[in-house]
Amino acid sequence: MTQEYSTDNLPDIKNLRAPNFESLAEDQRPKVKSIGILTSGGDAPGMNATIRAVVRVAIKNGIRVFGITRGFHGLWKGEFDEITTRQVSETLQRGGTFLMTARSKTFETPEGVVKGSKMCKVFGVEALVVIGGDGSFKGARDLARIGLPVICLPGTIDNDIASTEYTIGYDTAMNTAMEAIDKLRDTASSHERCSVIEVMGRRAGYIALNVGIATGAEVVLIPEHEYDVDRDVIRTILDGRNMGKRHYIVIVAEGAGKATDIAEQIEKATGIESRPTILGHLQRGGSPTLRDRAMASLMGIHAVECISKGLLNRIIVLQHGAIADVDIEEGLEMKKTIPEIDLQRAGLLN
């Protein structure tokens, strides 16, 4: 006789697992014993602090670390050198990246990606840590798609990576720009001028917006939102003059316009002497701030924790104030922009 069984009261399968089931499952994953690390794209203060954290924590976890110089260019060319703990001493406070960075047209081709992956095999590198921006993450994703595990860390002064609330280098760049604009306001005040300052941000206006708020700029122009020079710039300056203002600060993100053109238009329309200043690569340099050093270090630790747990092809992020990680494919699909209300609020302060 066939006996029938009811499934109504079966215990949850999770309750049947051993208490250490999850850790046992993790132990079955192949352990990464050797990683490569590179910096790619534009340099950002805090990159050295990130490298330092990854190297020190990885070595303490029994993982060898190979530094790859000149980004993806050095990857496909085979510029690998093993890094020791001593080699990252005295790098925490240094700006730039001692691994150097470079653009690579060769790596942008399928053949270049394959060659980069093969070079990792030549040096016994089992996973790659990439520090950079969206473009660098796309290069890492291409490597992941052909079988090389990757971990990405957000290093860009623009703060324009959609998956994270914060990118390494952003705080330092903002402070550098703020200090420069404070000095420019002093001389603009002395000469009763309008100072038009161009800051970095081809596609993102985070530096311009927040530095504008911090320096009391009369006008902030960002690439995320269209503007009319007559209405949004000239009219604002004339209104200020009518209220007794005698000097003015206009901040423009490089992707929103050219400081030289805007200064010329202001002077022609108002008669107010207007001087353009382009801060340029000044914003990339300098010793990283406390926040950038701390975030770089904590994100670097989390990167090695992911590698040790077998959680690969991830982007290390800051979400809701906590360091976390997201899938690289999902992260690159996310979008990020500045709400118009934020720009309007900045305008209330001029």
* CA dihedral (283, 285, 287, 292) positive or negative: positive
Task: Return d(Cα 95, Cα 43) in angstroms, integer.
Answer: 9
30-60 burial by CB neighbour count: b if 16+ within 10 A, else e?
eebebbbbbbbbbbbbbbbbbbbbbbbbbbe
Task: Return d(Cα 104, Cα 71) in angstroms, integer.
Answer: 8
Q: Looking up tokens 């710039």, which residue turns up?
A: 233
Closest CA to 196 of 257, 247, 260, 145: 260
Distance of CA 330 to the CA centre of its chain: 17
Closest CA to 75 of 161, 134, 150: 150
DSSP secondary structure, 179-226, as one string: HHHHHHHHHHHHHT-EEEEEES-SS--HHHHHHHHHHT-SEEE-TTS-
Specify whether 158 is catalytic. yes
Number of continuous H segments (helices) and E segments (strands) in the chain: 13, 11
- Which residue among the candidates 43, 134, 158, 342 is catalytic per the annotation? 158
Q: Do the beta carbons of residue 92 and residue 298 sit within 8 Å? A: no
DSSP state of 33: -
Helix, strand, coil percentages in the chain from 3-state DSSP, rounded to 5: 45, 15, 35
Tokens of 82: 């093993």
**In sequence order, what are the beta bridge partners of 314?**
151, 327
**In sequence order, what are the beta bridge partners of 329?**
none
Tokens of 187: 């001389």
Cite the active site residues: 158
